[in-house]
Structure formats: C-alpha cells, structure tokens
Amino acid sequence: MSETQCSRSESDNLLENSDSLKKPHITGSCLCGEVQYECVDNFKAFHFCHCHQCQKISGGAHVANLFLPDTDLSWVAGSENIQRYDVPGRHISNAFCTQCGSSVPYRTQSGPYFIVPAGLLESAPTSCKPQDNIFWDERVSWYEEGLTTTKYPGMPED
Ligand SMILES: [Zn+2]
Ligand SMILES: [Zn+2]
C-alpha cells in the first residue's frame, strides 16, 4: 500500500498550522453501529486499491482507503469489538467489527497512520479527494465492463 501524499499547496499548510483545531470532524460507524469513531478531516491520501488482498478484504472489486495521522482519530464506542488480522509477511491488514464484519479503521504496520475505509464515513471528506487506482494490474477482469452497465437510482423494478 502506497502512502503517497495528496498534493497540497504552501497556503494549505499555513492554513493547517493556524486552524488545525477548527478543522471539521467526520464521524464513522460500522454496519451494526457497535463501532463508532470520529476523524479530524485531515486525510493525507485516498487510494482505490485493486490488489488481490483488498479484493478478499472487501469481497468487492476494490477498497477505498483514506490515510489519516493516528492522532486524528478517536474511538467513540465499540473499539473492544474490533478484531485485527495482519497478512503474514505483508504490510497489509484487515480490521473488522466482530458483530457485523464491516471493515473498520486500523493502524498501519509501517507508520503512524490509520487506514480509514471511506465507505464507513457519514459524510464525504473535504481534505482529500480520490487520487488514484493502485494495483491496477491486479484488478478483477470484470471491473471495467461493470462500470459501463445500466445505472438505476435504486433496485430496478421487475
Ligand atoms: Zn458492527
Ligand atoms: Zn490493496
């Protein structure tokens, strides 16, 4: 997993230093609601990862992972319900709610960051936009074909 920084201008950094306490916060929770947390909207990277491990972790085509300095996340409830699995020999992990199985944030093995699954957040982050698709060569063979199919606003009617 790359930790490439989102591009930021000099003025962004000045603003960050003077206004860090005023940065908005975003809450997140798992499917069952047992695990709840709050993030400072101070994300540093946002990758869609298509690697084989992330396919297994998500059960889908890719994950959408935000990187957040570890001091910018606080647990609100349910952190005792989190189980972590570190892939042997790799810097890849999964953490999930033991009640509902949703992926939840976890600390990276290599650095002082939380990896935050973007789909758990209650609102969209403003500090970082999706920046790339990594491990593109490992994407599922049906990925691009799926993107071209008919879009329905909800469940299609029979
Ligand atoms: Zn849960
Ligand atoms: Zn991956």
Q: How far is the centre of ligand 1, averaged over its atoms, from the C-alpha of 99 (Å)? A: 5
Average pLDDT over every residue of 64-86: 97
Domain 25-142: which CATH class?
Answer: mainly beta
- For residue 29, the ligand closest to its alpha carbon is 1
Determine the distance from the C-alpha atom of residue 47 to the mean position of all C-alpha atoms in its chain, rounded to a whole number: 8
- For residue 100, the ligand closest to its alpha carbon is 1
DSSP state of 60: S
Q: How far is the centre of ligand 2, averaged over its atoms, from the C-alpha of 15 (Å)? A: 32
Average pLDDT over every residue of 133-152: 97
Inter-residue contact 53 to 92 (CB < 8 Å): yes
pTM: 0.84
Residue 8 scores a pLDDT above 70 = no
Q: How far is the centre of ligand 1, averaged over its atoms, from the C-alpha of 112 (Å)? A: 25
Query: What is the predicted pLDDT for the residue at 48?
Result: 98
127: tokens are 């500090």
Closest of 105, 115, 119 to residue 75, by C-alpha: 105
Query: What is the predicted pLDDT for the residue at 20?
Result: 53
The sign of the CA dihedral 105, 110, 113, 116 is: negative
- For residue 77, the ligand closest to its alpha carbon is 1
Every domain of the chain and the residues it spans: 25-142
Q: How far is the centre of ligand 2, averaged over its atoms, from the C-alpha of 55 (Å)? A: 7
Q: How far is the centre of ligand 2, averaged over its atoms, from the C-alpha of 79 (Å)? A: 23
Q: Which pLDDT band, with edges at 50, 70 and 90, does 10 fall under?
A: very low
* Bridge partners (DSSP) listed for residue 36: 29, 77
Alpha-helix residue ranges (DSSP H) falling in the chain: 10-19, 52-58, 143-147
Q: Which pLDDT band, with edges at 50, 70 and 90, does 21 fall under?
A: low
Q: How far is the centre of ligand 1, averaged over its atoms, from the C-alpha of 13 (Å)? A: 36
The 10s digit of each residue's pLDDT in 84-130 is: 999 898 888 999 999 999 999 999 988 799 999 999 999 999 999 99
HSE at residue 128, side-chain half, CA atoms within 13 A, is 25
Those residues with Cβ within 8 angstroms of residue 24's Cβ, 6 or more apart along the chain or in another chain? 40, 41, 126
Q: How far is the centre of ligand 2, averaged over its atoms, from the C-alpha of 156 (Å)? A: 31
Side by side, which strands form the sheet with 113-117?
106-107, 113-117, 63-69, 45-49, 132-134
Alpha-carbon gap, residue 86 to 78, rounded angstroms = 20
Q: How far is the centre of ligand 1, averaged over its atoms, from the C-alpha of 26 (Å)? A: 18
